[in-house]
Amino acid sequence: DAKTTQPTSMDCAEGRAANLPCNHSTISGNEYVYWYRQIHSQGPQYIIHGLKNNETNEMASLIITEDRKSSTLILPHATLRDTAVYYCIVRVRGSNYKLTFGKGTLLTVNP
Amino acid sequence: NAGVMQNPRHLVRRRGQEARLRCSPMKGHSHVYWYRQLPEEGLKFMVYLQKENIIDESGMPKERFSAEFPKEGPSILRIQQVVRGDSAAYFCASRKMGAGYTFGSGTRLTVV
For residue A17, is pLDDT > 90?
yes
**B47 → chain A, closest CA residue:** A98
Encode pLDDT of A66-107 as tens digits.
999 999 999 999 999 999 999 999 988 776 788 889 989 999
Question: Which residues of chain A does B55 touch, with a Cβ-Cβ cutoff of 8 Å?
Answer: 96
Q: What is the pLDDT of residue A5?
A: 95
Contact call for B4 and A43, based on CB within 8 A: yes
Burial (Cβ within 10 Å: 0-12, 13-18, ≥19) of residue B76:
middle
Choose, out of B29, B43, B97, B105, the residue to mutate when testing the contact with A (most A CBs < 10 Å): B43
Q: What is the pLDDT of residue A2?
A: 63
Asked if A94 reaches chain B (Cβ–Cβ under 8 Å), the answer is no
Encode pLDDT of A50-64 as tens digits.
998 899 999 999 999
- For residue A28, the number of C-alpha atoms closer than 13 Å in the C-beta half-sphere is 6
| Dist CA A45 CA A41 (whole Å) | 12
Radius of gyration of chain A (CA): 13
The number of beta carbons lying within 10 Å of the beta carbon of residue A40 is 8
Q: Give, as one character, the DSSP assignment of residue B52.
A: T
- Contact of B69 with B50, CB cutoff 8 Å: yes
| Dist CA A32 CA A90 (whole Å) | 6
| Dist CA A39 CA A50 (whole Å) | 22
CA distance B109 to chain A (A): 13
Question: Which residues of chain B does A42 touch, with a Cβ-Cβ cutoff of 8 Å?
Answer: 105-106
Residue A47, phi-psi category: left (phi > 0), alpha (psi -120 to 50), beta (remainder): alpha
CA distance A103 to chain B (A): 5
Asked if A103 reaches chain B (Cβ–Cβ under 8 Å), the answer is yes
Q: Give, as one character, the DSSP assignment of residue B108.
A: E
- Contact of A39 with A87, CB cutoff 8 Å: no
List, as ranges, residues 32-51 from A with C-beta within 8 Å of B. 34, 38, 41-46, 49
- B19-33 average pLDDT score: 94
For residue A1, is pLDDT > 70?
no
Encode pLDDT of A20-51 as tens digits.
999 999 998 889 999 999 998 899 999 999 99
DSSP symbols for B56-102: E-TTS-SSSEEEE--SSS-EEEEE-S--GGG-EEEEEEEE-TTS--E
In degrees and rounded to multiples of 5, residue B85 shows phi and psi of: -65, -10
Question: Which residues of chain B does A101 touch, with a Cβ-Cβ cutoff of 8 Å?
Answer: 35, 42-44
Encode pLDDT of B55-94 as tens digits.
999 999 999 999 999 988 999 999 999 999 999 999 999 9
At B101, is the pLDDT very low, low, confident or very high (cuts 50, 70, 90)? confident
Q: Under 8 Å CB-to-CB from A87, ≥6 apart: which residues?
A: A6, A35, A36, A37, A38, A44, A101, A102, A104, B42
Q: What is the pLDDT of residue A98?
A: 85
